[in-house]
Structure 1
Amino acid sequence: MLPRINDFLFIQVASSDEEEAQSVYKSRVADEDADSLYMEIPIHEPSGKLRKLYLGDELSIFIISPDGVKHYFNSYVTGYRDDVLRLVRIRKAEESSMTRIQRRSYLRVPAELELAVSARGQNRFIGITDDVGGGGISFYCEASRLLETGMELECWLLVPFKNGVVEHAFFKGEVIRAKMLENGRKQAMVKFTTISEPDRQKIIRCCFERQLELRK
């Protein structure tokens, strides 16, 4: 689903400021041509503040289809047009570059991220993720670590972003499956049971950036 006139866009602007990079702005497509979309100045709805955009600003954007599917794409600012209101011109997305994510389900991407794990408050160790998503992870660790199906873990995930900022995301998770591997390591699949929305959004953003890197 490509954005069309009158569709609403939900936008994050690439920034070295962590709080700013996580802010989501809303805009509307006012016009289009062969290569570009013309959108209204984005607004941060919680505060009511408009977001000024500059030439070359990199944007992560999603739209929501009527059936509740989010369609993600990357774009950047290419210019402006003065109409009744000033419009921002951005590069139009290609169908092949868009990522679909169902609501209440989360993109999972392969990623080797460091993870600090506490099992039953005593068994503490470091693991390395195999894949990561907004609903859970899988990770590798030493075979000697005690991990059983149904066990609750407390975890601190190291979350790196494209702009060089590194954050931590804390969550509690339940081991869905644990198995021994032929290489002598253990693998555990974990679903999140408790996670704050800001920490989940950190993970989702990292996954989105990682998938764009893999596409390139």
Structure 2
Amino acid sequence: MELKIGTNIILETISSETSERFRCKIVEQKNNSIYIDYPINVKTNKTSFLLEGSQYRASFVDDSKVAHAFKTQVLGRIKSNIPMIMLSFPTDDEIIKIQRREFVRVLTPVDVAVEFDHQFYQFITEDISAGGLAIIINQPVAFKENDDLQLTIVLPFTNSNDGIKYVQTSAKVVRFIERDNTIIAPLQFTNTDDIDKQNIIRFCFERQLQIRKKETAF
């Protein structure tokens, strides 16, 4: 598979306890390697220096709006007119095509850590989908409608092979809703990579299936 110069790539750490994401662009592709500009940390918005030998999960969207993912490793740094980092690029059969589905909203509690203006909060969701979620506001908050938040979402899959997935993304506060003496804040995701979006979709379908089984059991 050939990648066009300028293709946006999202890199996510896969070998460290702390998950980090970086955005970068393809500068060049040769044989089984791709060359990227120096990546920007999605959370801090600062340039990062990737260590040689470190491994990442990469995702990108092609011209047909189809998302793909693959594992890659840092092969080295290249000094040229533009400073570049060389990454391994797999064969076509090692690149995963991510299927896109409709966003399914599921009423289920999920732990969400929220960061806003250097303040941290912990909430439980009322519902979640690949497009966003709604949190139950159980404490005073500094953020308001249209504010941008940083989220860490905990997805506890029942399948032992999946375990627990941690999704880090940004979101915008849509509004605040008061219902039955409870305040709900729907949030819309604004920077979720395709692999994380796929994990949320799988989690929603899994929970939806569990709910249906419980309903048919009575």
Q: TM-score range by the shorter chain?
A: 0.3 to 0.5
The answer to which structure has the higher strand fraction is 1
TM-score, normalised with respect to structure 2? 0.47
TM-score, normalised with respect to structure 1? 0.48
